[in-house]
Amino acid sequence: MSFKTPIGRVRGLGSAKEGTHHWWAQRVTAVALVPLTLWFVYAMTSLAGADHATAMAWLGDPRNAILTILLVIATFHHVQLGVQVVIEDYVHAEGMKIVVLMAVKLACVALVVAAIFSILKVAL
Amino acid sequence: MSDSKAQDRPLSPHLQVYRWEWTMLYSILHRMTGVGLAVGTTVLVWWLVAMAIGPGAFDLVQSFLGSIIGRLMLFGWTWALFYHLANGIRHLFWDAGMGFELETGRLTGHTVLASSVVLTVLAWVCGYAALG
């Protein structure tokens, strides 16, 4: 027997009104990160100890610039989703939890913007 | 609704009440590597920003990453990445409803740990080969 209203059951969004959005976004970014991280490790091993000019030439290649932008977006989106769960598990004081959650999410946005700006500055 | 008895309800058990199990270790490692990667990957942003600033800033990052401490951190980051990646794929199979048997869970966990070590060593052999 369910206590949910028929409209609540149809919407399927649960008490947080988000449904499976968090879970799904974590999976979509995870799947994207499988090829992206493998490519990234391969690229970094070939760039070990590179000087500035070599690294600039590498990131100046549109393919590397695009893949690095995708990597940074997928990584930090995945990071803020994952760290959110860790914070919700261990930080129990409501005020502190909100402060730490906001700090992590804002920091992730700032890091992504700084990274993309830098990539475009090098590549364009 | 809420009364004084609500406060006497048992809380979630802590880690130490469970019998030790391989799958427990692999689960904890997934979270630890995840948090470690979240912190460690800020170095990637530093690397990219420094490259855009110029040779001076970039050489500073490269000399830090090339130092003994830098290399140790990068080595740890590489292993954490491969562990989280391999165990993440294990999670995706669970999401698809596969691999829930206890023996299967142990076996896939051992496979994840072994492949993370092998891939880390392989990546570093390639890295040192590129250095010449």
Is pLDDT at A2 greater than 80 in this prediction?
Answer: no
Residue A49: pLDDT over 90: no
Structure tokens that stand for A41 in this block? 């490790």
* B2 has a pLDDT exceeding 80: no
Give the pLDDT of residue B18: 81
Annotation: CATH topology of A6-123: 3 helical TM bundles of succinate and fumarate reductases (1.20.1300)
Q: Return the DSSP state at B67.
A: S
Could you say which DSSP state residue A20 is in?
A: T
Quote the percentage of chain A above a pLDDT of 70. Answer: 99
* Residue B123 neighbours by CB distance under 10 Å: 22
What is the model's pLDDT at position A12?
75
Q: Give the integer Cα–Cα distance in Å for B11 and A97.
A: 19
Distance from CA of B54 to the nearest CA of A (A): 8
ipTM of the complex: 0.89
A119·B95 Cβ contact <8 A: no
For chain A, what are the domain ranges? Answer: 6-123
Neighbouring C-beta atoms of residue A5, cutoff 10 Å: 9
Q: Which residues of A touch B78 (CB under 8 A)?
A: 41
Please, what sign has the CA dihedral across residues B60, B62, B66, B71?
positive
In the predicted model, what is the mean pLDDT of residues B33-50? 97
Is pLDDT at A1 greater than 70 in this prediction? no
The pLDDT value given to residue A52? 96
Cβ contact A79–B126 (<8 Å): no
Higher per-residue pLDDT: B86 or B129: B86
Domain locations along chain B? 20-131
The domain B20-131: what is its CATH number?
1.20.1300.10
Which CB contacts under 8 angstroms, 24+ apart, belong to B56-59? Answer: B58/A52, B58/A55, B59/A51, B59/A52
Least confident of A9-13, A42-46, A110-114: A9-13
